[in-house]
Structure 1
């Protein structure tokens, strides 16, 4: 009798444990969409770079239909382009959580087309289970402790695309780099009509009447608040090129910017990058600190909150980023 009770107890424990563990990355044996045989009339060559900024080519004879995306910020571009049903999965870091919530509200049907969206960074072994035919990611995704090298995937005939404005792949990222990303996505997924329209709007937004008396060079800081610490975005990031092209100047080139450094620089305008609404509230509270009351930007109420997705690998959101920065620089125009 005791043995029977013990056996039931052990079996019950196993059942409970099994119920608690859910494998969110099942191997997907069957195609999940109607695009598997989507063959091009001719192959295309996409010029890209590897994680060391070395040039490389990607050759495609079909439009990818099992795409894995890392990081979630990139969905800001791919979802509005209407290719959600070509995405097999995506991983979203904490920096993209707020953007993902916005996408769910703006494009609920398109988001539903993506079978798996992970709220954590996944490993190479987990990515293999998705059986991707194309990978798009930040430089950091192709590190040894994540997906492994691009060459590893290429050896298995799975092309990978590195976003050039991520993780300082390029020492000085530009708007042209972001427009190339858009053009590449247009070619890869055969949506060039959409991407061409966005690229035209981006360049139109850069047009400024430099003879206007209200247009003058201003010192700008773009920062990211983390508790009492402050990260500084220098001119090497794409946001630096945005600011420069719109008439601003970013004098501080170091990565960190404490309170003392901000007071020393005393910029005319500060853009505070935020990830979600909670982070936005924390950033707003930071700038209410009396220690910062001497800042020109505080005194003149020229501290502006800007979403992370507007300034980091922004893709389609490059246009929103330019508009937000232009409005902050020239509020009376």
Structure 2
């Protein structure tokens, strides 16, 4: 009987050790008791070329790389900032780093784009960024990371540009989808829903006001040296302008001539700029040229600055972008 009990205890102990070893062997990433979950979260996204893929999460990511400051702003709004191990801050956002360090003492901040070698040393379990972040020479293609069991997510409205397919057009809905997906990943659904509701409420209000005042004509441009880039219907400003019942000058090419801008007959011109507000004021100086003086928008002084973060992967700035576009069209 004693030998039977001894063998039984030994068998139970061996089974326990095998179970532990098996669990470790099947682990897909760094484990954390605070991030564990009994359910698998599956969300849809796409790769660098715009092909759809599904991402599965067996636990809440604990070492996240936020490859753009706009992405970090979403995680801050969701109260998921403690899950971020590294974040890239653009030149115009670098001044925020001292305060962010107080809030996120365990996060490393970079003022240059995070490259693949640096990212590998950070040992991430999730990387979120814009499409451009996953180009060669930066983080590299998403397949590289997925093969290492590191999920990647390309913010929906950071992919589409006039010359790139098969990315879908940028819309208000896809901005809301991004925040909802991040809410699912970090189990912050209530916080995400609050952000989405604010966008829906703003859009509903401005759509109602716009219907009372009638349609307007707008064009959205960015001056890039000697070139003029036009933001047509496939990009977020165009979607918002259409939702407000107005028309957006749309071209099938990414750039237009100065003559095409001159004859656009727009009631409002939205001027996109990067960097500081002074960079925006510098962009407005382009309209001091006499050739543009007869455009209705120039005559009426309806030249409206929109920072790039409002119109490309705008996420938490989407409601403000809707307000600014409405004001540019009507106020």
**TM-score, normalisation: structure 2:** 0.81
Whole-Å separation in 1 of the counterparts to 2:210 and 2:148? 56
Unaligned runs of 5+ in 1: 1-33
Residue among 159, 166, 173 paired with 2:151: 159
Task: Say what the alpha-carbon RMSD is for the aligned residues.
Answer: 2.4
Residue among 160, 167, 174 paired with 2:171: 174
Indicate if the aligned counterparts of 1:79 and 1:107 stay in contact, CA closer than 8 A. Answer: no
Pairing 1:190–2:184 present: no
Residue among 84, 105, 112 paired with 2:81: 84
Whole-Å separation in 2 of the counterparts to 1:289 and 1:299? 13
Residue among 26, 47, 52 paired with 1:50: 47
More helix by share: 2
Runs of 4+ aligned residues of structure 1 deviating over 6 Å after TM superposition are: 105-108
Pairing 1:133–2:125 present: yes
Residue among 220, 223, 239 paired with 2:221: 223
Compared with structure 1, are the counterparts of its residues 53 and 228 closer, same or farther at alpha carbon in structure 2 (3 Å cutoff)?
A: closer
Q: Alpha-carbon deviation of 1:104?
A: 5.4
What is the total number of aligned residue pairs between the two structures?
Answer: 292
Q: Alpha-carbon deviation of 1:113?
A: 3.6
Superposition map of 1:1-333 within 5 A: 37-92=34-89, 96-99=90-93, 101=95, 109-110=102-103, 112-113=104-105, 115-168=107-160, 170-207=167-204, 208-209=207-208, 212-214=211-213, 216-253=214-251, 254-275=253-274, 276-331=276-331
Indicate if the aligned counterparts of 1:252 and 1:265 stay in contact, CA closer than 8 A. Answer: no
Q: Alpha-carbon deviation of 1:233?
A: 0.9
Compared with structure 1, are the counterparts of its residues 105 and 330 closer, same or farther at alpha carbon in structure 2 (3 Å cutoff)?
A: farther
**TM-score, normalisation: structure 1:** 0.80
Q: Alpha-carbon deviation of 1:259?
A: 2.2
Compared with structure 1, are the counterparts of its residues 201 and 305 closer, same or farther at alpha carbon in structure 2 (3 Å cutoff)?
A: same
Whole-Å separation in 1 of the counterparts to 2:224 and 2:159? 18
Compared with structure 1, are the counterparts of its residues 304 and 129 closer, same or farther at alpha carbon in structure 2 (3 Å cutoff)?
A: same
Indicate if the aligned counterparts of 1:43 and 1:60 stay in contact, CA closer than 8 A. Answer: yes
Unaligned runs of 5+ in 2: 1-30, 161-165
Query: CA-to-partner distance for each residue in 1:133-159, whole Å, 9 max, x for gaps?
Result: 100011122223322222221111111
SS in 1 for 2:54: strand
Q: Alpha-carbon deviation of 1:109?
A: 4.1
Indicate if the aligned counterparts of 2:88 and 2:110 stay in contact, CA closer than 8 A. Answer: yes
Query: CA-to-partner distance for each residue in 1:236-274, whole Å, 9 max, x for gaps?
Result: 112221111112212232311332121021211111112
Indicate if the aligned counterparts of 1:76 and 1:99 stay in contact, CA closer than 8 A. Answer: no
